[in-house]
Chain A
Amino acid sequence: MRIEAQNITRIFGSTRAVDAASFTIDRPMMIGIIGSSGAGKSTLLRMLNRLTDASDGQLLVDGRDVLALRGGEKRSWQSDCAMIFQQFNLVGRLDVVSNVLHGLLNKRGTLSTLFNIWSRADIDRAIAILDRLGIAEQATKRAEALSGGQQQRVAIARALMQDPKIILADEPIASLDPMNAQVVMDTLRAIHDEDGRTVICNLHTLDTARRYCDRVIGMRKGRIVFDGTPEQLTTGVARDIYGAGVDFSETATSTAIGGDTGGDREYAEQMLTD
């Protein structure tokens, strides 16, 4: 599958949240997007999934511009392009298996889904996916009763249920503790390695991007300012991406963890590097 982004732009009022972003993905890979807060990472990902409309540009997937799709065709693209969120975005009051089955909502009839009519095969597949992610034990619990890391794995299970070509993840580990963060990132990497799916992941720590991704895209003020391998991502390049001065330190690249959790972050870096 060939994915070609051409000058994708999103303008909110007077701010160009994403400014003419172009890149090409010609084979399945794991891509990390980095950049400081407000750089436009979330907006870019949301446009790819069509949660946010683009102001301009094209996203050619095997030659078809998915940014121009409307109605049912748009939803059909969304079902092929799974999204994982920082806050999991599950239906907390429903049980875990139901949440995983929601990955099929677009592919099954509206009426049967409303009446909870799922085939035995679908339910079995949902359980198998949960088992693969190591949370089958939680299958009958309410999603909101699970820990953050478990909920994020349910969200990944929902994404896998979609059997998507691409998985987008918007800061999937930003609200998780270091141990769960590692489990989730390992899972995403495994999904890429084993299933050959493309994974695009917004990340807020350079280390994570370097460690897990085949390719890193750096954004600054809506523009793509870096696109290369992790090896090419030197401290100097990172300084440019984050627009920091000479006092720039890599541990300051977090956008989600506030000041007094510095200890946590160090621990996270330790966990992720050893």
Chain B
Amino acid sequence: MAMAEINQAVHAGFSRKRAFSLAVPAAVLAYLIYVAIAFDLAGLAARARWDNGALLLQDFWSYKTHVTR
């Protein structure tokens, strides 16, 4: 193999590697964005009942049970 060929093969290999290592995180990110929309993450904060969470935490502290399920 001549040096020119080696050079070309190496550079082509690195272009491929670079494209791949950028495409994978990009795909993951795109998927997460899609899921965030599908799961209505934005609306979740509004729906969350933090008072419930506080109540649940209180149960850990006191013996008086608020949560009965």
| Chain A residues proximal to chain B, CB less than 8 Å | 95, 97, 114-118, 120, 123-124, 127, 131, 136-137, 139-140
Which chain B residue shows the least CB distance to A101? B14
Q: A114 to B24, alpha carbons, bound, how many Å?
A: 13
A-B pairs with beta carbons under 8 Å apart, 26 shown: A95-B13, A97-B10, A97-B14, A114-B21, A115-B18, A115-B21, A115-B22, A116-B17, A116-B18, A118-B14, A120-B11, A123-B10, A123-B11, A123-B14, A124-B7, A127-B3, A136-B3, A136-B6, A137-B1, A137-B6, A139-B6, A139-B9, A139-B10, A140-B9, A140-B10, A140-B13
List residues 1-54 of chain B with CB under 8 A from any CB of chain A: 1, 3, 6-7, 9-11, 13-14, 17-18, 21-22
Q: A115 to B25, alpha carbons, bound, how many Å?
A: 10
Of the candidates A95, A116, A123, A140, the one whose C-beta lies within 8 Å of that of B21 is A116
CB <8 Å contact, A127 and B6: yes
Extra contacts, 20 of them, besides A116-B17, A116-B21, A127-B10 (Cβ < 8 A), are A95-B13, A97-B13, A114-B21, A115-B21, A115-B22, A117-B18, A120-B11, A123-B10, A123-B14, A124-B7, A127-B6, A127-B7, A131-B3, A137-B1, A139-B6, A139-B9, A139-B10, A140-B6, A140-B10, A140-B13
Chain A residues with CB below 8 A from B14, complex form: 97, 116, 118, 123
On chain B, the number of residues with a Cβ less than 8 Å from chain A's Cβ atoms is: 13
Tell me the interface secondary structure of chain A in the complex: helix
Q: A97 to B16, alpha carbons, bound, how many Å?
A: 14
Q: A123 to B14, alpha carbons, bound, how many Å?
A: 9
Chain B residues with CB below 8 A from A120, complex form: 11
Which chain B residue shows the least CB distance to A97? B10
Chain B residues with CB below 8 A from A127, complex form: 3, 6-7, 10
